[in-house]
């Protein structure tokens, strides 16, 4: 995939950070194509291809590349946690729900802290 073609018709701003030991870029992409009005569609494979292309460009100019991204493993509930959740006795599940509710109803960090105190 040619990198520029991946964003053809989309407005892109590239911000380069040089204020750290490791220089790096951020791409801010308007997700609506300015020519077609369609929303950008990039799946995990497309992101991986963009990352690989970015690494190739960095290597071409003798720049450092990041270590490969490792998707975090998700741990499923064990039998005891599952039975506790089904009975409605799970403190972990209540806390997760309280956090979700506080996030939805908070516009600031201070409001989140206030809301989480009310919900817990």
What CA–CA distance (Å, rounded) separates 89 from 68? 40
**Would you call 85 helix, strand, or coil by DSSP?**
helix
Cβ neighbors of 97 (< 8 A, separation 6 or more) are none
State pLDDT tens for residues 73-112: 888 888 888 888 888 888 888 888 889 999 999 999 999 9
At residue 64, what are phi and psi to the nearest 5 degrees? -70, 140
User: Domain map of the chain by residue range?
Assistant: 3-60, 79-119
At residue 17, what are phi and psi to the nearest 5 degrees? -95, 120
Structure tokens at 120: 């817990």
Structure tokens at 72: 């975090």
Of 35, 32, 41, 38, residue with least CA distance to 6: 41
State pLDDT tens for residues 34-87: 999 999 988 888 888 888 888 888 889 888 887 877 778 888 888 888 888 888
At residue 14, what are phi and psi to the nearest 5 degrees? -110, 120
H or E segment and range at residue 60:
helix 44-60
pTM for the complete prediction? Answer: 0.48
Of 64, 67, 69, 61, residue with least CA distance to 20: 64
């Amino acid at each position: 995939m040619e990198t520029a073609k991946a964003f053809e018709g989309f407005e892109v701003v590239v911000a380069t950070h040089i204020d750290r030991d490791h220089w790096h870029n951020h791409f801010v992409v308007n997700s609506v194509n300015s020519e077609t009005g369609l929303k950008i569609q990039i799946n995990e494979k497309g992101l991986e291809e963009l990352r690989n292309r970015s690494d190739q460009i960095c290597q071409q100019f003798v720049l450092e590349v990041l270590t490969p991204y490792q998707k975090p493993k998700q741990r499923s509930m064990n039998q005891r946690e599952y039975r506790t959740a089904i009975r409605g006795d799970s403190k972990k599940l209540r806390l997760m729900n309280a956090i979700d509710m506080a996030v939805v109803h908070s516009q600031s960090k201070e409001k989140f802290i206030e809301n989480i105190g009310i919900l817990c």
